[in-house]
Chain A
Amino acid sequence: MTDSRQQNPLTAGLSETLLPQPCTLIIFGASGDLTRRKLLPAVYNQMLDGILPANFAVLGSSRSVMDDQAFREFAHEGIERYSRQAIDNHHWPDYEHRLFYEPGSLDDPQCYERIKQRLSEIEHEFGIPGNRIFYLAIPPSLIEVTVEQLRTAGLIMPINEPGPFSRVIVEKPIGHDLVSAKKINETLARSFNEEQTFRIDHYLGKETVQNILVMRFGNAIFEPLWNKKYIDHVQITVAEEEGVGTRAGYYDRAGALRDMIQNHLLQLLSLIAMEPPWSMDADVIRDHRMDVLNCLRPVATDNIDQHVIRAQYGPGTSHGAGVPGYRREQDVDPESITETYVAIRAFIDNWRWSGVPFYIRTGKRLPKRSSEIAIHFKAVPPILFNADTNNPLEPNVLALSIQPDEGLSLRIATKLPGPKVRIYPVKMDFRYGSTFGNPSPEAYERLLLDVMAGDATLFMRRDAVEASWAWIENILNAWKSSGARWLPEYPAGSWGPLEADRLVESSNHSWRKL
């Protein structure tokens, strides 16, 4: 695999951040929602921002029968609706000129032969030196056949041979349990080495998430407090306002634990709790994140209800209108016991975090869309301003908001103006959108750029995926053996079941009001 940054003297110092290399992005599942809403708009925004390589093209493929022109119209429609930047007629012709499409079935060898031929033509036309990124925007069950066909057709550069690079991007979920995750990883490993494999978790592409490392290790005031001595507990919330929508078929087989906790929330947890890395090298960062996963205390299965709460949304309200309960949603089994809400009290058994609860919660049909990480510091001693046990001071909270408004806030106690000493909690707020005038790039823009540049820092490594599954599987097995026929319900539009409140109240804590 070559790295043109090392060979090209003119690229030194050219960009403050990343230097994407000339390549073709081949998208499997190109007629799907992800391509329309995220991938094609991301590439379009990169082009408008002038960061897309000059020698670049997109070749889409899926079963849907389309020609290049229809694919370009599909892209236009997606960008018009979902792009961060509006369609610009000055630039559109240059963008659509780079889009190509080849229909076919993922298990049909002829399809790959046609793709090979198209790629050859495209690379010649755009002066692309054979670098290829395969984006597998397809269900996990199709990954194996796709990768095998790619290899058989000779579309992938052999591992560790000099020449153009081949990279692969796979979307979550990587499997539905540890065994299937390992199988997918082994399939990928037969054709791509780990440096060529990019397991995407779009949460890691968000500005606030990347800012976690900067905030922790770029400021002297936080890291000395970042341990069991000063931190009382941590809350990580990913709340969704929407129900299962069009994903019911998938979701009813997966549930919130697999869909959200196994990937997004455990990745956030590992970033918040990791030890200081000694370099920004991708593998160093990922090693340190992995250490956190290794230290996660397995949830005790004999009293799992004291550590993990699962529930389903019932009928209720959303956006001011009545909505049905989960079991009444289209394509959901009326007897389903799939959880749409999970709350977990987790512990990280290492020197830094021993005894500090990490409360994790996620759910659908909650009152609003909101994701944040809140660090709750310990209260000041019960003397001086905190001497009144009936009115204790509210402890400091550092909250990192991930969506919808990326930013951070710090709650501090301050004196109200006046002759009496009256203390009031105020929030110091930093919002990306307010402070920096330009809107942040979408997570997919950043992550696609990283793949073009060969930087895997913000992607999940194989061992981390498997460690996450191993931890999750413990809970899944306990649930399975419980033989439960029903789950607690929470009204749609509420903050979850009472059981989740009790989970944190048992440790004298309460969920943050978001």
Chain B
Amino acid sequence: MSTSQSKAPHIIAHPPRPVDVAAIERELIQVWDEFRDGANDKQAIMRACMSNLMIFCSTEQQATEVAAEIPTIAQLHPARVILLVKKDAHKDAPIEASVSAFCRQLGSGRQVCSEHIRIEANDSNWRHLSPVARSLLIGDLPTTLWWFEHQPPVIQGKLFNELIKMADQLVYDSIGWPNPAEGILAMTRWVSGDGHTNQVVYNLAWRRMRPWRRLIAEALAPEVVPNALDSINDITIEHGPHALPMIWLLIGWMATRLGWQLIKGKLVSGSEISWHFKSGSRALQVCLHRMDSGEPEMQRLMIRWQGDGAPGHANFAKLDAHRMGIVAESSTIPPSVISISHESSATMVARQLAHRERDPLFTNTLEVSRSMAEVLHL
């Protein structure tokens, strides 16, 4: 047997073709015809489409950023990608459109291709974005709206409301929100309100915390450290700039799962927040400290507990770009390490496209996060 190690697939990005909005579908057919005519017997072209993916950006820069990531999505989850750009432009410019395709070369010589449509609107005609998007969705396929803007989606008001009506799933990323508390309040209101019907709601920041959640759950499992989870009395977190919304979710998750009741919260300084919870008669405090520089992620998490026996503590830390674990020197439990693979936003979105179930744990966490925002009285 020879090695079966996987190689990175070869992605061929066909250059975009400017096209009139009314002629988008016609142009796509033309593209496929050209592919078919240009292929020989060993280069069968397969048009693959598992989802519709609408991506919303509010600046050219965001559009450029996300466009660079679309091949990753085409590779992992072939989809019709409709990139909607609301850009600043002079008022009389018409809506602009272009079409292109991404093809993944398979070992057999076949190519699997998916479509990319870009629609750009300006201040005067952005209201037409959602009707145009609606006409381009492929029926019978799930539709996801990826909100690429660094603001809570609900802030866009009408445009968001129109786009989300067409979608089965909303993907957004709370990392980098300028006002995390306001954003959390706005999103939780929307999730529990009338605007949100039955869409799956997914925050990429929640996904990024998964290795941390897993490590904490495994390291402090009752069979590993008896009573630790029942007797936590202090949590201290250090995080990089812009990571607060993510950490917020982590605390919300622990509070939800461990039955903590929120008592009060305080903005101690521009870089420090604390919350007080209680669980039965036990009080516990959570302190978040933002570092002046670094990646937008959690760097260190110290959990202390006071069990029946000796008190214990565990120092969870990001060890390097590829690993996180429990640091032996400042922990009373054995060290351990898990691998983390850096996933781009596009990779996370592509993986999420295949998941169509709601995550009640996330919804519950969001509720606690809202309470945590409300007590800060911002």
Contact = CB atoms under 8 A, between A and B. Distances in A.
A127 B258 contact: no
Given A10-B257, A13-B361, A22-B218, A55 B224 contact: yes
A7 B320 CA distance: 31
B223 A7 contact: yes
Interface residues of B, number: 58
A52 B50 contact: no
Interface string A1-24: 010100111111111100000100
Interface string A105-131: 000000000000000000011111101
Given A8-B221, A53-B218, A436 B4 contact: no
Contact of B217 (A10, A125, A434): A10
Given A11-B217, A55-B224, A434 B6 contact: no
Interface in A433-461: 433-439, 442
Interface stretch (B126-134, B149-157, B181-189, B208-216): B208-216
* Interface SS, A side: loop
A14 B210 CA distance: 8
Contacts of B336: 54-55, 126-127
B334 A124 contact: yes
Contact of A47 (B77, B257, B339, B359): B339
Interface in B17-55: 46, 48, 50
B341 A10 contact: no
Interface stretch (B91-99, B104-112, B190-198): B104-112
Candidate in B50, B112, B221, B341 with the most chain A CB atoms within 10 angstroms: B221
B293 interface: no
A435 B50 contact: yes
A125 B222 contact: no
Interface residues of A, number: 49
Nearest to A8: B221
A11 to B, nearest CB: 5
A50 interface: yes
Contacts of A437: 9, 75-77, 104, 350
B338 interface: yes
Contacts of A22: 218, 221, 223-224
B92 to A, nearest CB: 42
B325 interface: yes
B93 to A, nearest CB: 37
A91 B342 CA distance: 13
A126 B338 CA distance: 12
B378 interface: no
B1 interface: yes
Interface in B335-366: 336-341, 350, 354-355, 359-361
A7 B75 CA distance: 39
Given A47-B338, A85-B6, 16 more contacts: A4-B221, A8-B222, A10-B217, A16-B355, A49-B339, A49-B341, A55-B336, A82-B1, A84-B6, A129-B224, A131-B223, A434-B112, A435-B78, A435-B112, A437-B9, A437-B76
20 contacts: A8-B217, A8-B222, A10-B220, A11-B217, A13-B360, A15-B214, A16-B355, A48-B341, A49-B341, A55-B224, A55-B336, A82-B3, A83-B3, A88-B322, A90-B321, A125-B334, A434-B46, A436-B77, A437-B104, A442-B4
Interface of A: 2, 4, 7-16, 22, 37, 47-50, 52-55, 80-86, 88, 90-91, 94, 124-129, 131, 164, 433-439, 442
